[in-house]
Chains A and B, each alone.
Chain A
Amino acid sequence: GESVGLHLPTLSVQEGDNSIINCAYSNSASDYFIWYKQESGKGPQFIIDIRSNMDKRQGQRVTVLLNKTVKHLSLQIAATQPGDSAVYFCAEIRPGGSYIPTFGRGTSLIVHP
């Protein structure tokens, strides 16, 4: 079946480096893609989303890139900080539904001071 998945389960970076977290999706009809951050013991927190008619969107220290040709989504975090350590999920919203995000498995980002 179609699903949202991630390339790497764990990513380790040094404080100050840029981080890139990748996500592959298979449902070409999805309208929106979202990145969530989940810290230990907490619920997921919205970071940024992007419409399917865009290829890039920037927020504060984060950039999401969407490549519809290869069905690939990435989250770039600039100047990664220890507080960025968390599990990051990409999610998709499929058309025809009630805007319910479908989550992938997640990537654990570990930032070393």
Chain B
Amino acid sequence: EAGVAQSPRYKIIEKRQSVAFWCNPISGHATLYWYQQILGQGPKLLIQFQNNGVVDDSQLPKDRFSAERLKGVDSTLKIQPAKLEDSAVYLCASRTRPDPGRTGELFFGEGSRLTVL
């Protein structure tokens, strides 16, 4: 079974530039998450999609971050304009419905590492 695919793996930009990250979840997974992981910290949820609808975007800095999942499959996360503090790994995760036996099992991609100079 193919895992969660993310691209690009690495991106270096200057502050005030824009960047976009792409995620293709595991086939059949209706729920998709974007997390931000700053070096030395645990992942922090940015946004959750259920199919093509947003479930929770309360922690997404909407003045500069946007995300979409138009057809309910792959998703794009955009940052415009980027700030120095946006330097982090952006992780995409997906799962099917929560399984009572493995409620915490999200499948993560390898992440996109962003460096803002």
A residues apposed to B, CB below 8 Å: 4, 31-34, 36, 41-46, 49, 89, 91, 93, 97-106
When distances are taken between beta carbons in the complex, the residues of chain A under 8 Å from B105 are 46, 49
Given A41-B110, A99-B103; 10 other pairs, CB 8 A cutoff: A4-B42, A43-B110, A89-B42, A98-B50, A100-B56, A102-B45, A103-B42, A103-B43, A105-B42, A106-B42
**Min CB–CB distance B114 → chain A (angstroms):** 14
B residues apposed to A, CB below 8 Å: 4, 31, 33, 40-45, 48, 50, 55-56, 91, 93, 98, 102-106, 108-111
CA distance A34 to B93 in the complex (A): 15
Question: Are the CB atoms of A49 and B42 closer together than 8 Å?
Answer: no
* Contact A43 B42, CB 8 Å, known A93-B103, A98-B55, A100-B33: no
List 12 contacting pairs A-B, 8 Å CB cutoff, sorted by A: A4-B42, A32-B103, A44-B43, A46-B105, A97-B56, A98-B56, A100-B33, A100-B48, A100-B56, A101-B104, A106-B40, A106-B42
How many A-B residue pairs lie within 8 Å, measured between CB atoms? Answer: 65
Question: Are the CB atoms of B41 and A32 closer together than 8 Å?
Answer: no
* Contact A43 B4, CB 8 Å, known A98-B55, A103-B42, A105-B41: yes
Q: Which B residue's beta carbon lies closest to that of A50?
A: B104
**Min CB–CB distance B45 → chain A (angstroms):** 6
CA distance A97 to B43 in the complex (A): 17
Question: Are the CB atoms of B104 and A32 closer together than 8 Å?
Answer: yes
Contact of B111 among A4, A33, A43, A102 (CB under 8 A): A43
Counting chain B CB atoms within 10 Å of each CB, which of A89, A100, A106 scores highest?
A: A100
**Min CB–CB distance A45 → chain B (angstroms):** 7
**Min CB–CB distance A22 → chain B (angstroms):** 15
